[in-house]
Amino acid sequence: MKSLTLLTALLGLTTATSIRSEARPKRTVYDGYKVLRVAAGDDAAKLNKIIADLDLETWKGAAKVGGHADVVIPPSKLSLFKAQAAGFETLTMHEDLGVSISNESGFQTYAAGTADQTWFNSYHPYADHLTFLRDLVAAHPNQSEIVTSGTSSQGNTITGIRFWGSAGKGVKPAIVFHATVHAREWITNMVAEYQAWYLLQNYGSDATVRSFVDKYEFYIFPIVNPDGFIFTQTNTRLWRKNRQSNSGSTCIGRDINRNWPIQWSASGGASTSPCAEDYKGQKQSDAPETTALAATLNRIKAAQGLKLFIDWHSYSQLFMSPYGYTCSSVPAKNAEYQALSKGAVAAIKAVYGTTFNYGPICSTIYKTTGSSVDYALDVTGADYSFTLELRDTGANGFVLPAAQILPSGVEAWAGLKYLLANMK
């Protein structure tokens, strides 16, 4: 993946000194960059060739016939792209990506010790996320604790929160959430944290919440790709992968959601190129984040059972079930999966009118091999395994305004509430 970088508005953002990082490559800015949604029509191959020939960044995978590509275009290539893609219908997502990122990234100072709803008014530096989780535990010391799931390739701890109900910890089936697998998907950590905050905050006053927390034990890891997330805040806002070096290549990073030991060798669901955003690695589980996260899932399953696994992503507004690695096979209880998904997306829509589509991953979005959702179901043995693509459908894409954080969390809770109430 070529190096795009963060606005000068974030140059003053720093993380705690305990957070390890590599020497910073030179920053550039996104000023003048445009993001265009280009309809492929019947000429997907032609559009993909133009994108490849101009070495342009895309926010989603290659365009398919009848589909589209969301393309990031620097000022230096705009006229050339417009000339070559003159026959394609386009929609402007971001007129000036630099301005959009600047508007998105107005970080508010977090008052340590509060852990209240104001947290969801803005995005936050990585160090503040760790403080927020510690503050949640401090506010609920008898039913929660900080947990970890190993370390990243640069030595940052994968930190989460664990909480339980009246029966105590370790005795009820577990629910596990992963978020910020892909570093640029900032909305996902905020939504995952909202679920933790809401469940703990309302445990004492809401009988439905209390019933869920008494029935299950929750493990929520809001940022499972800490190196990549830190990099999006200090260098490259649109970075996706981890920050692991690749032998024989100057390109950095693996897609840790293409690196799990499940159908890793199957073709068509990930890239073998170290420079690609969906690079699957030199071998399965060679990303330390993947190895650590898989070990944690399996340990939880063995100790207390794993009822539900959710991998939170953005963007596209999709509520998806396995499988990602094949479009010709579905889990044995696929009918139940689709019924649950249908009910969950109806519950989401009932809040603000936000429409989510649903279905198996491969047929709903695209083929993915070596993914956590397939692993959690078929290897770990979770009872249920889902992946959600949160807001929006492309008006803002990865650069979702902070004003949409709280609504995203609230509507996601509605979908989760339906799921928890109707799982067998």
SS3 105: coil
pLDDT band at 28 (very low <50, low <70, confident <90, very high): low
- Both tokens of residue 261? 């030991």
99-123: average pLDDT = 88
Type of residue at 311? D
pLDDT tens digits for range 266-296: 999 999 999 999 999 999 999 999 999 999 9
Distant-in-sequence, close-in-space partners of 116: CB < 8 Å, separation ≥ 6: none
Per-residue pLDDT for 2 more than 60? no
Burial of 76 (0-12, 13-18, 19+ CB in 10 A): exposed
Per-residue pLDDT for 15 more than 70? no
The neighbour count for residue 117, using CB atoms within 10 Å, is 13
- Contact (Cβ atoms closer than 8 angstroms) between residue 72 and residue 35: yes
What is the Cα–Cα distance from 180 to 108, expressed in whole angstroms? 20
140-158: average pLDDT = 98
Instruction: Name the residues annotated as catalytic.
Output: 389
143-152: average pLDDT = 98
What is the percent of the chain with per-residue pLDDT over 70, rounded to a whole number?
Answer: 93
- Contact (Cβ atoms closer than 8 angstroms) between residue 59 and residue 70: yes
Phi and psi at 368, nearest 5°, equal: -135, 130
pLDDT at 103: 84
pLDDT tens digits for range 307-325: 999 999 999 999 999 999 9
Type of residue at 316? S
What is the Cα–Cα distance from 46 to 305, expressed in whole angstroms? 49
Nearest to 389 by CA among 400, 381, 380, 378: 400
pLDDT tens digits for range 335-379: 999 999 999 999 999 999 999 999 999 999 999 999 999 999 999
What does the mean pLDDT of the chain come to? 92
- Both tokens of residue 373? 């959702």
pLDDT at 1: 37
pLDDT at 107: 77
Give the H/E segment covering residue 369: none
Phi and psi at 272, nearest 5°, equal: -95, 0
pLDDT at 29: 78
Residue indicated by tokens 């969801």: 120
380-398: average pLDDT = 97
**Longest C-alpha distance within the chain, in Å?**
65
pLDDT at 23: 38
pLDDT band at 123 (very low <50, low <70, confident <90, very high): very high
Per-residue pLDDT for 56 more than 90? yes
104-131: average pLDDT = 90
User: Number of C-alpha atoms within 13 angstroms, CB side, residue 317?
Assistant: 19
- Contact (Cβ atoms closer than 8 angstroms) between residue 388 and residue 412: yes
Phi and psi at 315, nearest 5°, equal: -120, 165
pLDDT tens digits for range 175-195: 999 999 999 999 999 999 999
User: What's the whole-model pTM score?
Assistant: 0.92
Per-residue pLDDT for 14 more than 50? no
What is the Cα–Cα distance from 188 to 405, expressed in whole angstroms? 9
DSSP 200-263: HHTTTT-HHHHHHHHH-EEEEES-S-HHHHHHHHHT-TT--S----BTTBS-----TTS-SSSS
Beginning with the edge strand found earlier in the chain, give each strand of the sheet holding 157-163 in spatial order: 144-151, 157-163, 217-221, 174-178, 306-314, 384-390, 318-321, 357-360
Per-residue pLDDT for 21 more than 80? no
CA angle, 344 then 347 then 351, to 5°: 140
Distant-in-sequence, close-in-space partners of 243: CB < 8 Å, separation ≥ 6: 22, 152, 153, 154, 227, 228, 231, 252, 253
What is the Cα–Cα distance from 5 to 161, expressed in whole angstroms? 31
What is the Cα–Cα distance from 52 to 365, expressed in whole angstroms? 21
CA angle, 246 then 251 then 255, to 5°: 70
DSSP structure class, residue 64: -
pLDDT tens digits for range 58-99: 998 777 888 999 999 999 999 999 999 999 999 999 999 999
